[in-house]
Amino acid sequence: MSLLDVWLGGTRVAVLDDAAAFGMASLQYTDDALRTFGRGGLALSLRLPVREAPYSAYDARPWLDGLLPEGELRTVLADRYHVAGDDTAGLLAVLGRECAGAVTITRNGDGPPVESGVHWLDEDGLDRAVRELATAPFGVGVDGRVRISLGGVQSKLVLVGADDGRFGLPLDATPSTHILKPSPLDDLGRERWPGVVHAELFGMRVAAEAGIDCAEVSFRPVGDRPAILVRRYDRVADGTGLRRVHQEDLGQALGVPPTAKYQKAADPLTPSLRRVAGVINDHADAPVTELPRLLDQVVASLVVGNCDQHAKNLSMLLDPDLGVRLAPAYDVVATVALGVETALSLTVGGESLLEDVSGQAIDDEAESWGMGRRAARRRREEILERLADAIGAAADGVRADAGEHEVLDRAEADARRRLALVAG
C-alpha cells in the first residue's frame, strides 16, 4: 500500500510503500522519474539510482532516516505528533514538506506539495520560538503548518529571511533560506557548552578566509542567547524565485544510518574518509577537482580542532545544472577548544587522535583516495599557507561581531600551534 509521495521540484519521483514492518517503507521510482532521469540516473541518492525495481526498506531506510533529526529531537517530535519514535514513514508524513536538499514529501494522493507562505516573526516571536525549541523543535509550536525536517542533534530554527531583515517560519512546502542555531542549554537553562557559538564562528570563518567553499555564517543573537545564522547553500535565488538544490549527506550516500555516522575500528562497512573519497571518485563529474576540495575541508578541520567531521557533516550536491560535486563545508566547530576529547570522528591516515595527525598522515590519507602523493603534499602545503593567514583575521572578525571569549582565545592559539604539527 502506497504511503507517501516523494517530490523533487514539481516532479513526483518516487512512492514509499508499506513494507509490512512498522515504520519502514520501500521506495519505488515513478515513471516520471524514469523519463526525467533515465535508468541509472541520480535523482534522490547516489546510493539509490533510478531503476524500475523497488528498493527494499532495508536499502531505503538509511536515506529516509537521514532526512530526520536524531536522538532527543526525534523523540520529542514523535511524541508531539503521536508517532512511534522508530516510525520513519510516519514522521516524514507529518514533517517532510521542507527537508534538506530538494526533497518534499506528501501523503499519497494529496497531490503536489503546497507552498503556504511564511509566518513572519517579530523579535519577541523569534525569541519565544527559540525558548520553546526543547518542546517544539523547528518552531512547530508556532504554527500548525510548519512541517520541517532536518538532520542533526542540535535544536534549531529553519527560517525564511526577507530583504528587510525580517525572519519567519516557512509554512507547508515553502522553501527556507536560513538556519538559526542558538547555543544549546542544559536542564537548568545554562549554556551546555559555553562558547560554542564562538567556536563555530571561528571554525567556519577560518575556512572562509582561507578560500574554502563553505556556508555563509553570521552572529545573530536572539534575546540574551548567542546564536549562529547560517545561509542555506541548498537554496538558490534565480529569476523565478527560490530554487531548491538537491543534496545528501555522506551517511546517506554510503547507506549508513545516522546512528552509525562515526568511524568504528575493524568494521568494513563503517564510514571513513576513504569511502567518502570513493563516492566522489565513483559519482562526481570531476573527481580531479573534488578530491582536492575534500582535502581542503579535512585539513581546515584538523587545524581549527574540529574533531566532529563525521559522515553527516560532509555532503554531496546533486545539481542538474552543475553536476555532482562536494557540498560547501558546514558545521566546522573548534571542538577541542570546548574541552571535547580529541578522538577524530573519521580517522586520517590511520590516526584516530587529533594530536597524532602529522603532515605525513594527511598525505597518506589523500594518497589512499587516489591522489598522487606529490599532488597531495603540494595541496596540503598550499591550504596550510592560506589557513595560516586566515586564523588571525577570522578570530578578529569573531571578536568584532560576538565579543571576547576564552574559548575563542583558546581556539586561535590551538590553531596556530596545530599548523606546525601538520606542516611536517
Catalytic annotation, residues: 308
What is the spatial distance between Cα 275 and Cα 335, in angstroms, rounded to a whole number? 24
Q: What is the DSSP string of 314-356?
A: SEEEEETTTEEEEPPB-----GGGGT---EEEEEETTEEEGGG
Task: Give per-residue burial for 117-143: e unless 16+ CB within 10 Å, then b.
Answer: ebbebeeebbbbbbbebeebbbbbebb
For 142, 183, 299, 333, 358, the CA distances from 60, given in Å and listed in that order, are 32, 33, 32, 31, 38
Q: Give the contacts of 93 (CB within 8 A, at least 6 positions apart).
A: 3, 4, 105, 107
What is the spatial distance between Cα 322 and Cα 325, in angstroms, rounded to a whole number? 8
Please check whether residue 242 is in contact with residue 236, taking contact to mean a CB–CB distance below 8 angstroms: yes
Q: Give the contacts of 341 (CB within 8 A, at least 6 positions apart).
A: 307
Burial of 361 (0-12, 13-18, 19+ CB in 10 A): middle
What is the spatial distance between Cα 312 and Cα 261, in angstroms, rounded to a whole number? 6
Longest Cα–Cα distance of the chain, Å, equals 60
Nearest Cα neighbor of 168 from 211, 139, 148 is 139
Strand, coil or helix: 219: strand
Nearest Cα neighbor of 328 from 243, 181, 239, 230 is 230
Nearest Cα neighbor of 314 from 284, 342, 352 is 284
Please check whether residue 344 is in contact with residue 307, taking contact to mean a CB–CB distance below 8 angstroms: yes
Number of H helices, E strands in the chain: 12, 17
The three grid cell numbers given for residue 245, joined into one nine-digit string = 538544490
| Segment (H or E) for 217 | strand 216-219
